[in-house]
Structure 1
Amino acid sequence: MNKTLFTLGLALLCSSGTLAQSVEQRVDAVESDVIKWRRHFHQHPELSNREYQTAEYIAAYLRGLNLQVTTGVAGTGVVAILDSGKPGPTVALRADMDGLPVKELNDLAFKSEVIGEFNGNQVPVMHACGHDTHMAMLMGAAKILTDMRAQLNGKVKFVFQPAEEGAPPGEKGGAEIMVKEGVMQNVDVVFGLHISSGTDVGVVEYRHGGIMAAVDPFKIVIKGKQSHGAYPWLSVDPITTAAQMILSLQTIVSRELTLIDDGAVVTIGAIHGGNRSNIIPSEVELVGTIRTLNDSARQHVYEAMARKVEHIAASMRAEAELTLPLDYSYPVTYNDPALMNKMLPTIRRSAGEQNLREVKAVTGAEDFSFFQQEVPGLYLFVGGKPLDTKADEAPDHHTPYFYIDESGMKTGVKVLTDLTLDYMQMASK
């Protein structure tokens, strides 16, 4: 081997090792602050599009780091920019901010006792999906990357997003609005992660391509002719029409999609119609959700839904109106395969080979997908389950006993920091 090349390679290896050691030490040093921030957010949750105090707390901290801070993005969002002063890519890192209308039943010193308003009702509020940890981890990464400004090439955009759980009825919010307001302009890549209450602390889960499903709520209104229940031949029965429709909609997945390639779900979640046992009503309403893991399956389900609703209604002499999507719609959360291949060594180094798992896609949804439609992006899961808790005994997300082992946040801070540093280094070579 050429002696000069050997010396250069050795220098780069030593530099990389020194940088990794520095990140590890900084993650350890900031951990107590990350836990403090997480507990503050957990004790003071706010619902979607109402994250006013949360945004103020985050913005004040980021201003203290001397970052360029913009508030009021997509309503209550906060965006901060760290400029290294050197040419290079812009890396966006995202955390979501909103809590849920769930009453916390955990016995914690920092449990939530907050009451908020949802859909005109007073409701308890809880960070029952881990968004409190997401904000705290991103603040930790912001601290470390700011302290390591000299090692950066380009800019880092810290995106604190409201309303990931969905805006209140009649409102807009979340990642889609952030995109419309230009948050992804001049961004080269975006990284995000989600804590998982059912995954062991220290574990990082990844997947090439679709990792979370597209979500498309829908409503079907079936109109018939009312009659006495004793004389059904005088009716055009929307209830039996609804029954035929519900059963047929299930065959879209079971008989029309290539099951070995296309994961999908069509679920009817609510049926409304009628008020007495002896009256056939004039109208029935069905409400449901569609989940798909690639665009071709999504488009097929759209077409099949319209086809079946129209023709089943006609066959029963009824009329039907399909609204799809109903009120919101998220694309597939899609991990760019080329970007995943490029950054997988970084993720492996951050988590450790023994803690890295490739997983199947899930049919939950995430509006991080709107960011990924604008630029290549990666979305990962980080473990938050105590090691002494069995996976089938871990409280699920969106439930009153949802629980996170705070030691798992170190991994998230490290992954976000390492992805940013390594992507910048690769892009600058």
Structure 2
Amino acid sequence: MKFNSLLLSIMLASGAVSAAPASSDWVKSAADAVEREVIDLRHHIHQHPELGNQEVKTAALVAEHLRELGIQVRTGVAKTGVIGVLEGGRPGPTIALRADMDALPVEEQTGLPFASKARGTYLGKEVPVMHACGHDAHTAMLLGAAKVLAANKDRIAGTVVFLFQPAEEGAADIDFFDQTQIYGARHMIKDGALDQPKVEAIFGIHVMAQMPSGEVRYKPGAALNSADGFRVTVTGKQTHGSMPWTGADPIVASAQIVNGLQTLVSRRVDLREGMGVVSVGTIQGGSAGNIIPETVSMTGTIRSNSPGIRDSIHSHLPPLVEGIAEANATKAKVELANYAPVTMNDPALTAAMLPALEKAADGKVGQLSSPSAGSEDFSYYAQKVPGLFVFLGATPAGVEMSKAANNHSPFFAVDDATLKTGVRAHVEFVLRYPQVAEQLAAARNKS
């Protein structure tokens, strides 16, 4: 459910949402105390990355650390996921903190002393593996927060559920276009991640390049774009290149399809709702310059910051492609793969948790003016319960932000100094939420 800005203003002005949390000054010293351990954990995980649905060693490490802290542990969730449950010393709400554990099929080129040299298997092929999106940092930060919270559970009102999720980037053992199988957040939800115990709010943190280390950014409402894929196979009739009239040319049809796809956004979508992007990333076809091939295949991505625009593109793309193919005496098979909806931060929850972010980042907090172009399957959790997903800067001082290697780059590197801010943010979420839970629920019921 959505909150309008007037309601938020009334809540904040009237004190329905407390302007400042109870003192949690101890959190900073507690995070400082575990910083070295968190850094060491992150380095170890970084040096031993695993692809989606293959995070066996990472999951074992996570489970071992949680058990040592006296936290209830459930393994084998969504194949390789881990759930920890910590009951606080006082009654209160149940919230979830989420971290992803999987790496990417990227060959690391950072030159770090703990750089990955790992290899993995992606859809049957051997590939290099790297934590090129910071999931090593996410896992280490949440483990650090778990240690702080377990040592201070008497200060906690309610229950904390730690979600260590596999396959956020995709499953290395499942074809992206196989829509009969689920992985990542959807699989975690199916396996009861939000129900055992029942979670009423969820929080996540993502480290970001080209953002100063230790700084936090947030955005109410749409925070990250949706992401989906498409695969088109155009089938014609193979013939000699000197006699095209004796065949049906899938290359010409494919060229027109690529151009036609660009009209989806510019001519078929109501851009007053937001933005949309349709990009073709691969085209494969043909074996020789003098042969018109039988088939051409292409794959691409669909992105949007509006659920309505996303749905519009999904509905218009297949008939457009099929129509262009038919006009060229060919046939097109269109496959759509849903990865993640728009990640929506609950506006009221976001406003209520700003004091927690301010404390965690020592005031270095800013609001984004537009959603991140990236995507996250955290969006599925946020469809089930109110969620807040924030961004943590990972680029150290002295580095020009615009020149820092971006997430998914083989040169992407996380500044270790930012990790303790992530630990503090997780802990502050836990301390802050019980103070505002009843007011948020009451306001939500009235909306």
TM-score scaled to structure 1, two decimals?
0.92
Listed one character per residue, the Cα deviations across residues 295-325 of structure 1 (whole Å, up to 9, x for unaligned) are 1001100111022112212222222121112
Aligned partners of 2:438, 2:385: CA distance in 1, in Å? 18
Kindly state the Cα deviation for residue 67 of structure 1 after the two structures are TM-superposed.
0.8
What letter is aligned with 2:101? M
Aligned partners of 2:241, 2:20: CA distance in 1, in Å? 83
Kindly state the Cα deviation for residue 182 of structure 1 after the two structures are TM-superposed.
0.9
**Pairing partner for 1:199 from 211, 214, 220:** 211
Equivalent residue number for residue 104 of structure 2: 100
Aligned partners of 1:60, 1:190: CA distance in 2, in Å? 23
Equivalent residue number for residue 394 of structure 1: 404
What letter is aligned with 2:285? G
Listed one character per residue, the Cα deviations across residues 240-266 of structure 1 (whole Å, up to 9, x for unaligned) are 111111101111112232335421110
1:409 is the counterpart of 2:419: yes
Equivalent residue number for residue 304 of structure 1: 316
Contact 1:88 1:428 in 2 (8 A): no
Matches for 1:312-323 after TM superposition, within 5 Å: 312-323=324-335
Equivalent residue number for residue 386 of structure 2: 376
Contact 2:21 2:356 in 1 (8 A): no
CA 1:215–1:13 in structure 2 vs 1: closer, same or farther (change >3 Å)? Answer: closer
Listed one character per residue, the Cα deviations across residues 320-363 of structure 1 (whole Å, up to 9, x for unaligned) are 121112xx521111111222122223223332444423242123
**Pairing partner for 1:258 from 259, 264, 270:** 270
Equivalent residue number for residue 231 of structure 1: 243
Equivalent residue number for residue 324 of structure 1: 336
User: Number of aligned pairs?
Assistant: 415
Partner secondary structure for residue 364 of structure 1: coil
1:134 is the counterpart of 2:142: no
1:240 is the counterpart of 2:244: no
Partner secondary structure for residue 157 of structure 2: coil
Contact 1:141 1:414 in 2 (8 A): yes
CA 1:96–1:367 in structure 2 vs 1: closer, same or farther (change >3 Å)? Answer: same
Matches for 1:77-156 after TM superposition, within 5 Å: 77-84=81-88, 86-156=90-160
Listed one character per residue, the Cα deviations across residues 376-408 of structure 1 (whole Å, up to 9, x for unaligned) are 111111011011000122112222221111001
Equivalent residue number for residue 63 of structure 1: 67
Equivalent residue number for residue 295 of structure 1: 307
Listed one character per residue, the Cα deviations across residues 79-128 of structure 1 (whole Å, up to 9, x for unaligned) are 00011254321110001111222222223222222222223333322211
Equivalent residue number for residue 269 of structure 1: 281
Equivalent residue number for residue 5 of structure 1: none
Structure 1 unaligned runs (5+)?
Answer: 1-8
Partner secondary structure for residue 324 of structure 1: strand
Aligned partners of 2:89, 2:420: CA distance in 1, in Å? 28
Partner secondary structure for residue 329 of structure 1: strand
Aligned partners of 1:407, 1:178: CA distance in 2, in Å? 30
**Pairing partner for 1:41 from 38, 45, 60:** 45
Structure 2 unaligned runs (5+)?
Answer: 1-14, 176-181, 440-447
Aligned partners of 1:141, 1:230: CA distance in 2, in Å? 68
What letter is aligned with 2:404? A
Contact 2:90 2:154 in 1 (8 A): no
Kindly state the Cα deviation for residue 41 of structure 1 after the two structures are TM-superposed.
0.9
Aligned partners of 2:438, 2:37: CA distance in 1, in Å? 32
Matches for 1:174-193 after TM superposition, within 5 Å: 174-185=184-195, 186-193=198-205
- What is the RMSD computed on CA atoms of the aligned residues? 2.0
Equivalent residue number for residue 11 of structure 2: none
Aligned partners of 1:120, 1:282: CA distance in 2, in Å? 26
Contact 2:237 2:249 in 1 (8 A): yes
Listed one character per residue, the Cα deviations across residues 174-221 of structure 1 (whole Å, up to 9, x for unaligned) are 111111111111110010011112110121111111221211111112
Contact 1:153 1:425 in 2 (8 A): no
Matches for 1:323-362 after TM superposition, within 5 Å: 323-325=335-337, 328-362=338-372
Aligned partners of 1:14, 1:340: CA distance in 2, in Å? 14
CA 1:15–1:296 in structure 2 vs 1: closer, same or farther (change >3 Å)? Answer: closer
Aligned partners of 2:423, 2:383: CA distance in 1, in Å? 25
What letter is aligned with 1:46? E
Partner secondary structure for residue 103 of structure 2: coil
